[in-house]
Amino acid sequence: MNFIDNPGKLHGFEKTGFEKNIKIEKVSRRSILKGLGITGGFVLAAPVMSRQAFAYETGAGKMPHGVVVDPRVFVAVGPDGIVTILAHRSEMGTGVRTSLPLIVAEEMEADWSRVKVKQAHGDEVKFGNQDTDGSRSTRHYLIPMRQIGAAARTMLEQAAAKRWGVPATEVKAVNHEVVHSASGRKLGFGELAADAAKESMPSIEGLKLKDPKDFRYLGKGQVGIVDLHDITTGKALYGADVRLPGMKYAVIARPPVTGGKLVSFDPDTALKIPGVEKVMKVQGWPWPSKFQPLGGVAVIARNTGAAIKGRDALKLTWDDGANGKYDSVAYRKELEEASRKPGLVVRAEGDADAALKTADKVVVGEYYLPHLAHASMEPPVAVADVKGDKAEIWAPVQSPGGTREDVAKTLGIPEGNVTVNVTLLGGGFGRKSKCDFALEAALLSKELGAPVKVQWTREDDVHHDFLHTVSVERIEAGLDKSGKVIAWRHRSVAPTIASTFAAGAKHAAPFELGMGLVDMPFEIANISCENPEAAAFTRIGWFRSVSNIPRAFAVQSMVGEIAAATGRDQKETLLALIGSPRIVKPAVKDMWNYGEPQDSYPIDTARLRKVVELVAEKGEWGRQVPKGHGLGIAVHRSFVSYIATIVEVAVDDKGKLTVPRVDTAIDCGTYVNPERIASQIEGAAIMGLSLAKYGEISFKDGKVQQKNFDDFQVVRIDESPALTNVYIVPPGPDTPPSGVGEPGVPPFAPALMNAIFAATGKRIRSLPLGKQLEA
C-alpha cells in the first residue's frame, strides 16, 4: 500500500513548542472564518438529512446539538492553496482525525497532500455534536462531511465560472483546481479562495455529490493517519504534553472508597519533599454526581515527580462512607442469586416459562464477568488556566462540548467563557468521556491563580475509574427432541451506568438493554429477557462496547454449549439459531438500536449470517488443527455493525494458552478507511484477549484491590495472537455506515472460550480465565 510520505504538510499541531502553538491556533481560527470568508455561522437546523437527498437517515440529528453542515465552519482555503479542514471529533486511536477531514477533501476534490487538519475546540453550537463515543463518528458524519466538501467545491466552481464568464455547469473541480475544459483554462483553489468566499452558500438539498466510482481516497485505505510522523518522532501532543508558562504540577490523593470523605490530613511530610510547593484540599461532590471530582488533597509541585512523591507522603484520614462494605466476592453471590429469580421482564415473545417446562432438555449457563478498568496508556491528565471568570482547558477528552459545559457549571461561569482545547488522547475506551480530571484542574487553577496540570498516576487511574460494570448473565435454553431451541430465557443482572447519574438506579437503561440483551437476533418462538435489580457501589461507566461484552459472552458461549449438548458443529448451531434471513423486530418498548432509526439500521439476519459464512470460509472453519488446539466462533451485532470472529487456541499440558490465529469478518456498511478498520479489529482482539485472560477489578472493604499493570494485567506482545486476519464485507450501494471502534471486542472472548472448549472440553463461564485451565 502507498502511504503519504510527506507528512510535513499534515500536522494538526505545529511542531514549534506549545506556547507558540496556542498563538497559531488562535490565528488560524480566525483564518478559518475568513478563509471561505463569511463570519457568523450559517447553521442548518438538525436533522439535515432528508429522505429525498439520501438513501438513509441516521440518529445524528437527535444527538445534543445535532449536526452542522457548513463549509465556512469546517473548511478554509488559503491564498497559497492550502486547504485547512477542522476535525471536530477527538482522536483516541480510531483514525477519526484523519477519516472525517478525508471525506471533506474527497468531496471537494482537494489534494490530500495540500490539506492541513486542525483540531476544533469544544463548541457544539458551532460544530454540532462532538461526543466521540458510541462508534458514531463515521456513521453520523459521512454524509454531512460529504455535503460540506461538496458545498465548498461548488463555491469554488461558481467563483471560477464567474471569473471566466461561463456557466457554472461548464466548469469542474479536479484535484485542487477548477478547470474549464472547453477553453483549457484552469485556476488553482488558492487563486479562487477569495472569490469563493463571496459566493453564497449553496442549498444542501441541491448539492451534487461525487459518484463513488470516482473516489480517490474513500474506501481505498492508502492514506496514513495525519499524526503518523509526529507520533513516531515524539512530537505529537497529548494531554500531558501541554506546557504553559508558570504552570504548576498537581497530583491528588482521592478518597479510596467511592463516596468517601476526607476527615483530616497532615501536609508536613509532603511539604518536606524537595520541589513540593503547596498542599491543598480539592472540592469533592457527593456520590453519585455524574462526572464531578471525588475531592481529596492535592500536592502542588514544580514537577510531576515531586508531586507524586509528595502525594505519597501525605498522612490522610478518610471516612469511607456507605460503600466501604463493597466486597466483590459477596456481591457476586448476590448477583447470582438475583439471576436465579424472576426479574423485570424487558422482552417477552411467546411463553418462555411454559416452553422451558415442557422442553426435552434445558441447557443452563450462568456467566460471570467482573468489573474492568479502561487503563488507557495515557492516564487521565488535564491542564487548566483559570483567570477571573475565564477558563482555558487543554485535555484529552472524548467530549469537548460536555467538558466545556461541566467546567462552566463547576466554576459558575458562562459557557462562552470556557475554551476547551482537545489534545490527542492516549487511548480513551470510554474513560475520557468523563471529564472529572479536567474539572479537578479547573478547580485547582482557580484557587492557585496559576495554570495547573493535574496528572493521574496509574494507581489513581485503576483506583478511581468509572468502571465497566460487573455482571451475571444467566441463560436457559429449552430444546425439543430434535435439538431445536424452542425457549430462551436470559437474565442479565448488573449495576447500571445510570447509577453514576442518579442515586439508587437499579435497572439497566434502555441503551444498556439494547446492547445484546433485548436485541438478541435468534429465531426462537419463546423468548424472555429479564433484568433483575442490581445496586451500584462504585462509579460505573462506559467501557469500549459496554454491555455488549457480558451479553455477547453469555449468548455466544451458550451457542457453544447448545452445540455441545446436541453434538453439533458450533457454526451450524449458530446459523440454525440465527435462522432465516429476515428483519428482526423484537417486542420491546424502548428499542434503543444505538440511537439509529430501525428503517435504515434494522437487525438484519442476512447480514449476520453473511459475516458468519465469510469468516468461516476465509478463516477455514473446520480445518484440521493439531492436538491441544481448538477452534471457536462467535458473532455479534453491535453499534449497528455485524462482526464474526474465529479464534484458534492452543492449550498445553500445563494449561498454558496461546492464540495461533484469529480471523474476523466485519460488515460495517459503507466505509472510509479500511486500513484503520483493520487496525481497530486487530486491536479489539488484543483487548478481547486481555479481558478474557486477565481482566478483573475487584473490591474489598470498598477499595479496588488492583493498582497497576502488575495486578491489572493486559496482554503483551509475546502472548498476542500470532496472526490476526480481518475481512471487510464490501458494502451495497446505499448501505449506511456503521460502527467500527467498539464492535470488534464483544465476540472475541466467547469465541476464545468456545475454542478452549473444543481444545480441552472445559467450559469457562467465569471471567477472567486466570488459572482455570491449570487446575
Partner 1 sequence: MIKVKINGQEQSWDGDPDLPLLWFLRDEAGLTGTKFGCGQALCGSCTVIVDKEAVRSCITSINDVAGREVTTIEGLHPNGDHPVQKAWRQVNVPQCGFCQAGQIMQAAALLMDNPKPSHDQIREAMSGNICRCGCYQRIENAVHLASTGV
| Binding-site ranges for partner 1 (CB under 8 A) | 3, 5, 91-95, 224-225, 227-229, 231-238, 240-241, 243, 249, 273-275, 302-306, 308, 375-379, 424-429, 455, 457-459, 675, 679-680, 682-687, 708-710, 714-718, 720-721, 723-724
C-alpha cell, 686: 488484543
The CB-of-80 to partner 1 minimum distance in angstroms stands at 24
Residue 713: Cβ within 10 Å count: 17
Comparing CB distances to partner 1, the nearer of 420 and 678 is 678
Give me the least distance between CB of 379 and partner 1, in Å please.
7
Which of 69/252 has CB closer to partner 1?
252
Q: Please, which residue, 339 or 423, has the CB nearer to partner 1?
A: 423
- Are 464 and 373 contacting, i.e. CB atoms less than 8 angstroms apart? no
- Tell me the closest approach of the beta carbon of residue 458 to partner 1, in angstroms: 4
**388-405 burial code (b ≥16 CB/10 A, e <16):** eeebbbbbbbbbbbbbbb
C-alpha–C-alpha distance, residues 202 and 541, integer Å: 42
How far is CA 178 from each of CA 9, 162, 600, rounded to the nearest angstrom?
A: 22, 12, 36
112 with 104: CB under 8 angstroms? no
For partner 1, give the closer residue by CB, 215 or 238: 238
- Min dist CB 713 to partner 1, Å, is 9
The answer to whether 422 and 397 are in contact (CB under 8 A) is yes
Shortest distance (Å) from residue 647 CB to partner 1? 14
Instruction: Quote the least distance from Cβ 467 to partner 1, whole Å.
Output: 16
- Shortest separation between residue 533's beta carbon and partner 1, angstroms: 33
CB of 672 to partner 1, least distance (A): 15
C-alpha span between 693 and 698 (Å, rounded) = 15
Task: Please name which of 591, 586, 598, 571 lies closest in space to residue 488, comparing C-alpha atoms.
Answer: 586
Nearer to partner 1, 558 or 657 (CB): 657
* Of residues 356 and 767, the one with the C-beta less far from partner 1: 767
Residues 6+ positions from 30 with CB-CB distance below 8 Å: none
**Dist CA 648 CA 458 (whole Å):** 33
Between 93 and 514, whose beta carbon lies closer to partner 1?
Answer: 93
When the beta carbons of 152 and 549 are compared against partner 1, the nearer one is 549
What is the nearest approach in angstroms of partner 1 to the Cβ of residue 583?
34
Nearer to partner 1, 425 or 549 (CB): 425
Of residues 695, 765, 750, the one with CA closest to residue 370: 695
Interatomic CA distance for residues 304 and 250, integer angstroms: 7
Distance of closest approach, residue 760 Cβ to partner 1, in angstroms: 24
> Which residues are CB-contacts of 456 (< 8 A; sequence separation ≥ 6)?
251, 252, 379, 380, 381, 437, 464
The DSSP letter of residue 502 is: S
Phi–psi pair at 140, nearest 5 degrees = -90, -20
Q: In what order do the strands lie in the sheet with 115-119?
A: 75-77, 83-87, 115-119
Q: Which of 261, 74, 255, 94 has its CA nearest to residue 153?
A: 74
- Is the Cβ of residue 183 or residue 233 nearer to partner 1 in the bound state? 233
Backbone torsion region of residue 355, taken as left when φ is above 0, otherwise alpha when ψ lies between -120 and 50, otherwise beta: alpha
Cell 485503576 identifies what position?
462
Residue number with CB closer to partner 1 (409 or 458): 458
Q: How far is the CB of 749 from partner 1 (least distance, A)?
A: 14
Q: Are 640 and 747 in contact (CB under 8 A)?
A: no
**Which ranges of 567-693 does DSSP label H, i.e. alpha helix?**
570-578, 605-618, 674-693
Query: At 704, phi and psi to the nearest 5?
Result: -65, 135
Residue 418 CB, nearest approach to partner 1 (Å): 25
Please identify, using beta-carbon distances, which residue of 378 and 596 lies nearer to partner 1: 378
Q: Which is nearer to partner 1, 92 or 262 (CB)?
A: 92
The residue (of 653 and 718) whose beta carbon lies closer to partner 1 is 718
User: 660: which DSSP letter?
Assistant: E
Looking at the Cβ atoms of 175 and 303, the one nearer to partner 1 is: 303
Residue 147 sits at φ, ψ, to 5 deg, of -65, -40
Name residue 251's beta-bridge partners. Answer: 299
**Distance in Å, CB of 128 to partner 1, minimum:** 24
Task: Please give the single-letter amino acid code of residue 432.
Answer: K
Question: Where do the H-state alpha helices sit in 186-250?
Answer: 189-198, 228-233
* Gap between the Cα atoms of 722 and 156, Å rounded: 50
- Least separation in angstroms between residue 302's CB and partner 1 is 8
Q: Cell numbers for 248, please give them.
A: 504548576
- What sign for the dihedral angle of Cα 391, 394, 395, 398? positive
Smallest gap from Cβ 117 to partner 1, in A, equals 15
